[in-house]
Amino acid sequence: MTTAMDEQCRNVQLCLQSGSDLWDGVPDYSAFSREQSLRRVDELAAAILAETDANPPLVRLAHEASIRFYHNTFDAYESSSPADLERVFLVTRRASSFDADEYASESRYHVPLAIPGFSVSPWIRMRAQIGLPPLLVDTYTASNDRIRRGAVMIAPLYADMMMHLSPSAAQTVADQNLSSSIAFAHRLGARVIGLGALLPQITRFGATLKDFANSENRVTTTGHGGTVFLVCETVNRLTKDFGYPENEIGVLGAGGSIGGATCEYLLSTNPKVRLNVFDVRADRTARLRARLGSRVCVRESVRSVLERCAVTISAITGYVDLDVIEADDDMPIDLANKVIVDDSQPGSFHRHQVEARNGVLVWVVGSDGSRDSFLTRDGSMTQGVPYNYGDGAGLFGPASEFGCGLEAGVIAASGADDAAIRGPVTTADVVRVGALFEQYGVEVAAFQSYGQPVSIGSPAQETLFRQPDQPTANPV
């Protein structure tokens, strides 16, 4: 059934594609052009006003805010003034032209014109951002100590590149845009660069960044030690504070670097646990069981793990579509009294699908408990409101941060360069980063996913659980 908004959305896209060469064909992903970016914003505003029933004053306000952001972005990128920062947390966009608006809020602060409320499709939303240079989207500047100061930067890499370009051409553009991002980070003064989202995979754990300038003065870390530590701490909270059984834990994507390290760390820290694992790469799970022993049980499908375990960890880099699984099996999935702990970004499970089956979806998120809040974003680019990676697609709570960003922060602050992770994560890596997290007061954040809180247990339990967000000791 076609709605009025669907019709308007289609009209906006047709209007743009028929009137300008910026909205059709294969875009130039490697050209950072202020002129073309501003043209895109102007043309998008005109199309919305012409083809939709959106409120004209609101459209004009969003147009003006988008123009300001684009100018600020290019001004920051083109400036040669160092920002006196020790670290940059480098991430990629999770949104794409085929994500059905799930990550639309990721861009709301940057391109307020390109939102579903103005009948802008994911395709147009992503096109509106192509041509922007690396984005400095927030800073961590609460501390007066330089080594505790940093920034969040979005590299101009897009999932859509794989749709438009050959693998080799996409890799060439990715390398070029990553080189520009790293150079920008160096101009800001950053010595430590944390790799977020898919960047560890894209850069082979940071190995390809050694070919870029100033590599001898740069420390990169994948964030996987902090992620695995927070995964396991999240499971510990669920089992110890909320009574979920700890004897049977599921791990999806167990054949990958994070999944395998999670299995090894859980087994080493919990003598009671038995792991039910699945990975589409069956040879990897077979090797995992041979290496870790009989407490690892290989299962045949995602469904078999979910149905057996009250708590399942997902370390999958793709999507799990529960609707498709049910249709293929011709059998419903009941997730009542079950929690999925998803460490993937973009998320591997859709929250609405999990909750529709009476389950709970929790993302892996840490909370800043340091004495000077040096791991908390300050909203310097977003009118004092910390950039949260999207109200409906990011983090809940101002002190919340992804484990990979926290890892970069504690390594920079401590000067513990030997804790930086530049290869597949190991248990020893997790132990080192976990010790730094404890030293600096990093804890599991309030349960959440897709930018919203998640309720587990009784209100009294929730109150008790949230207290650790306020440090009881005096972390460094």
The tens digit of pLDDT for each residue in 415-474 reads: 999 999 999 999 999 999 999 999 999 999 999 999 999 998 643 344 433 433 433 445
Domain ranges of the chain: 225-372+440-469
Instruction: Give 371-384 pLDDT, tens digit per residue.
Output: 999 999 999 888 88
Contact 51, 15 (CB under 8 A): yes
346 preceded by a cis bond (ω within 30 of 0): yes
Q: Which residues pair with 193 in a beta bridge?
A: 88, 220
Global pTM? 0.93
Contact 87, 188 (CB under 8 A): no
CATH code, residues 225-372+440-469: 3.40.50.720
With 0-12 CB in 10 A as exposed, 13-18 as middle and 19+ as buried, what is 161? buried
Rounded Cα distance between 25 and 7, Å, is 22
Q: What pLDDT does residue 473 have?
A: 46
Rounded Cα distance between 299 and 306, Å, is 10
Q: What pLDDT does residue 474 have?
A: 53
Ranges of the chain with pLDDT below 50: 1, 458-473
